[in-house]
């Protein structure tokens, strides 16, 4: 496997993991009083620092976390 093939595979896996994380976060935010917990804040930072998010889906001014997560989820489908 050459480097380019490996990087494509890593990027694909990163996208899948990010999609699953965002889906789980959306479910927790919409269904419970999860928003603002230490776990939610930690996961938000993990999502924010993800290279896919930094390059393609940075949070917009006045965008709610739910809107932002939905945008990331759509982008990573």
Residue range 6-41, pLDDT digits in tens: 888 988 999 999 999 999 999 999 888 898 899 999
Q: Are 19 and 13 in contact (CB under 8 A)?
A: no
Tell me the whole-structure pTM to 2 decimals.
0.87
Q: How many domains does the chain have?
A: 1
Q: Which domain holds residue 32?
A: 3-75
Give 51-68 pLDDT, tens digit per residue: 899 999 999 999 999 999
CB atoms within 10 A of CB 35: 14
Query: Which residues, other chains included, contact 48 with Cβ-Cβ below 8 Å and sequence gap of 6+?
Result: 54, 59
pLDDT band at 75 (very low <50, low <70, confident <90, very high): very high
Alpha-carbon torsion (46, 48, 51, 56), positive or negative: positive
What's the chain's length in residues? 77
What does pLDDT average to over the chain?
92
């Amino acid at each position: 496997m050459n480097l380019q093939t490996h990087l494509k595979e890593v990027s694909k896996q990163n996208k899948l993991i990010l999609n699953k994380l965002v889906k789980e976060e959306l479910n927790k935010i919409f269904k419970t009083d999860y928003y603002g917990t230490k776990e939610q804040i930690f996961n938000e930072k993990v999502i924010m620092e993800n290279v896919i998010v930094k390059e393609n889906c940075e949070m917009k001014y006045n965008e709610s976390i739910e809107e932002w997560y939905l945008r990331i989820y759509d982008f990573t489908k």
